[in-house]
Amino acid sequence: MAKKKRTPQEYSADPAAQEMLILAEELGVGTAFHRADEMPPCNIGSAGMCCKNCGMGPCRLTKDGLTGVCGATIDTIQARNLTRAIAAGSAAHSDHGRDMAFTLKAVANGQAEGYVIRDVAKLRTVAAKYGIPIEGRAPEEIANDLADLYIAQFGQQNGKIAPIIRAPKKRQQLWEEQGVIPRGIDREVVEALHRTHIGDDQDPEHILQHAVRTALADGWGGSMIATDISDILFGTPAPILGQANLGVLREDMVNVVVHGHEPTLSEMIVAASQDPEIIAYAQAAGAKGVNLSGICCTANEILMRQGIPAAGNFLQQELAILTGAVEAMVVDVQCIMQALVGIAQNFHTKIITTSPKVRIKGALHIEFDEHKALTVAKEILRHAIDNFKNRGQTRIPDIREKLVPGFSHEYINYMLGGSYRGSFRPLNDAIMAGRIRGVAAIVGCNNPRSQQDYLHTYVAQELLKQDVLLVETGCGAIASAKLGLLLAEAGLEKVGPGLREVCETVGIPPVLHMGSCVDNTRILTVLTQMVEEGGLGDDIDQIPAVGLAPEWMSEKALSIGVYCMASGAYVIFGGTSPVSGMPDKVSDSDLVSRLMSEGWEKIYGGKMEFVPDPDEMIRRTLAHIDKKREALKLPPYDPSRFGKSGDSRVLELEALPLAERQAALYGMSV
């Protein structure tokens, strides 16, 4: 059968990406989109029906009743495969958190060149949560104690990881009863690998219980640590104007694109790019200066805090190089395609790896060391500037969109209540009144098996019409940014009447960009604070809220999905289920899927489902929100009650003659 090849418009919903994909075809250069067409997924592996955990296999369980050579059933194999993926995702996020903790330790001891503690207030708030003394102590002393506490969470053997105390009390009690509170972050990841080795844990339900504990070690452990320390060192985000899409690249400047996940090096590159010595070096090379932009979650980190533009999300890493205008793509960890080196060979772009954990054959390696970060950052920029003279023909799409990112949970609290009485009360009240029907978090990756950005933005736009407030992170947030949904004035055209009133009153976009993938922990904090505020039940599972990852692809996404589920959220993934089993479901092969939906819902109040159709995702999201509203005895959603205040009411009144306006305002007769 001939392979189906899609058009650039079918590959991506983003016109800038389409332009680059047309160019790729003209130049005969392949990208992930093309490779996805040429490499159809293995339908045995993608459904979780293959085990290669030992040398007696791989065993492919394609028929009813088949077992592996060791006797493992399909349910056991699917539970093991899923748990291994979650362990990898949890490890990736958590190892990022560990590196941040070591950086904090170095900063506290004056051993990290160029770094300072930018958010002392957050340092004190976080330290106080754990009983670290703060009064009368220098920030460095507090930071040293917090770094020690956080470093200890990784190797801790018994007890509970410290950040667990930040979850709602009732949730902590439930986790305690279920035996899923992580003892130590590394311990849960190691045990996940141990349990899924040949001849260990064979009971799917028991294996999945440990998958939950491993994912919680990510969400309420490694990721939360990463977010806390990034804010302490680089500043807690607050709204700032930014730009997104490939049109942020500049003809007249040296373009350096930072890609990956960790903010430690990229923040230093931001500082170095503004150094007069570097600007002069760039000018001597014939450029106006260094233009920095980001891809993936490194983009989100520096966009949230510094307003540095985002060149795009995951599937734009290769397309940025196709512009011919990128002097250097500087990568750290996670979501970096090996194909970058091959595609860069068609242009002058240098791929520079920087993490001691990541090398790619053919890339230039300049190792990052937080003890001399500014020196390393300047060295990288000099390489990029030296490469400017090698630039050939360029084709930068003239497409970019403004956005306002920077909605940390601290800022949301502040914007709703003000600096002296920060509070989630107005948000809870708006949900209780029905102005906001519910909240949805749209997070996660792009996947070239579906049209880039389409699922993210279609689901987002439909939910906005239904008065659902959106919070977004990762590549999903960049997809919405490219469409202008992260701007108050652009986004408000497209939202329901009640949500529109709230956004106009508070002055926010209807889609709040909350950061990178590790920053999904900010969403956990928002949900916890909504519970603590009162009126929406006493645990996260009672809040009318849903999490969606419409275009997921990474193992980290699976870990995020499971820790959100275990925290009480209904989580919907798009694309293919890694545990779908036999297509006709004639046997027990959907046991794992059922355990993850009905089974987990009975235990945790949250569930996780894979739903490929976007309209069905929306239907299930709204049904869940309405079910939770009903359980809380809130008024049923009725958009006709709203839209009579806010800007629309002001405009309506302004159009009236004075006497009629006064009558309407003060209840006087005309």
The contact set with ligand MSK (CB under 6 A) reads 261, 296-297, 313-314, 335, 444-445, 474-475, 516-517, 554, 556-557
Look at residues 455, 418, 437 and name the one whose alpha carbon lies nearest to residue 500.
437
Select from 114, 116, 140 the least CA-distant residue to 127: 140
Q: Which does 72 bind (CB under 5 to 8 A by kind): ligand SF4, ligand MSK, none?
A: ligand SF4
Q: Compare residues 73 and 298 and give the one whose CB is closer to ligand MSK.
A: 298
Nearer to ligand MSK, 332 or 541 (CB): 332
- The binder of 556, among ligand SF4, ligand MSK, none, by C-beta within 5 to 8 A per type, is ligand MSK
Q: How many CA atoms lie within 13 A of 632 on its CB side?
A: 31
Q: Nearer to ligand MSK by C-beta: 301 or 410?
A: 301
Q: Which amino acid is at 524?
A: L
Work out how close the CB of 314 gets to ligand MSK at its nearest, in angstroms, rounded to a whole number: 4
Lookup result for tokens 């590159």: 269
- Mapped onto helix, strand or coil, the DSSP state of residue 313 is coil
Instruction: Provide the minimum distance between the beta carbon of 582 and ligand SF4 in the complex, in angstroms, as a whole number.
Output: 16
The item of ligand MSK, ligand SF4, none sharing an interface with residue 296, based on CB under 5 to 8 Å by kind, is: ligand MSK
Cβ proximity to ligand MSK, 101 vs 553, nearer residue: 553
Taking the least distance from each CB to ligand SF4, the nearer of 202 and 375 is 202
Smaller CB distance to ligand MSK: residue 224 or 416? Answer: 224
Q: How far is the CB of 211 from ligand SF4 (least distance, A)?
A: 17
Q: How far is the CB of 528 from ligand MSK (least distance, A)?
A: 23
Angle at 348 between CA 344 and CA 350, to 5 degrees: 65
Residue reference for tokens 């009983």: 131
The H or E element spanning position 50 is strand 50-51
Q: How far is the CB of 496 from ligand SF4 (least distance, A)?
A: 50
Contacts of 197 (CB under 8 A, 6+ apart): 53
Query: Do 79 and 236 form a contact (C-beta atoms < 8 A)?
Result: no
Minimum Å distance from CB 198 to ligand SF4?
A: 4
54 binds, among ligand MSK, ligand SF4, none (CB under 5 to 8 A by kind): ligand SF4
Least CB distance to ligand MSK at residue 277 (A):
32
The structure tokens 């349990």 sit at 195
Q: What residue 297 binds from ligand MSK, ligand SF4, none (CB within 5 to 8 A, per partner kind)?
A: ligand MSK
Q: What angle do CA 612, 616, 622 make, to 5 degrees?
A: 135
**Residue 639's binding partner out of ligand MSK, ligand SF4, none, with CB under 5 to 8 Å set by partner kind:** none
**Closest CB to ligand SF4 among 72 and 149?**
72
Residue 47 phi, psi (nearest 5): -90, 5
For residues 462 and 662, is the Cβ–Cβ distance under 8 A?
A: no
- Closest to 230 (Cα-Cα) out of 123, 138, 134: 123
Q: How far is CA 68 from CA 65, 83, 205, 595, in A?
A: 10, 18, 19, 21
- Select 69 or 665, whichever has its Cβ closest to ligand SF4: 69
How far, in Å, CA of 363 to CA of 359, rounded? 7
Question: For residue 320, what are the contacts with CB-CB under 8 A and spacing of at least 6?
Answer: 246, 249, 257, 295, 311, 312, 326, 329
Q: Give least dist CB 44 to ligand SF4, A.
A: 13
DSSP annotation of 595 reads I
Residue 554 binds: one of ligand SF4, ligand MSK, none (C-beta under 5 to 8 A by kind)? ligand MSK
Q: How far apart are CA 571 and CA 443, in angstroms?
A: 11
Considering the complex, state which of residue 58 and residue 612 has its C-beta at the smaller distance from ligand SF4. 58
Looking at the Cβ atoms of 87 and 440, the one nearer to ligand SF4 is 87
Q: Which of the choices ligand SF4, ligand MSK, none does residue 494 contact, using the CB cut-off of 5 to 8 A by kind?
A: none
What is the rounded distance in angstroms from the CA atom of residue 341 to the CA atom of residue 349? 9
To the nearest whole angstrom, how small is the minimum distance from the Cβ of residue 78 to ligand SF4? 11
Residue 69 vs 650, nearer CB to ligand SF4: 69
Report the partner that residue 516 touches, choosing among ligand MSK, ligand SF4, none (CB closer than 5 to 8 A by kind).
Answer: ligand MSK
Beta strand extents in 80-196 (DSSP E only) = none
List contacts with ligand SF4 (CB under 6 A): 51-54, 56-59, 68-70, 72, 77, 198
Instruction: In whole angstroms, give the CA distance from residue 232 to residue 129.
Output: 14
Residue 597 C-beta: closest distance to ligand SF4, Å: 25
Helices (H) and strands (E) in the chain, counts: 29, 16
Smallest separation, CB 329 to ligand MSK (Å): 15
Beta-carbon contacts of 137 under 8 Å, excluding residues fewer than 6 positions away, are: none
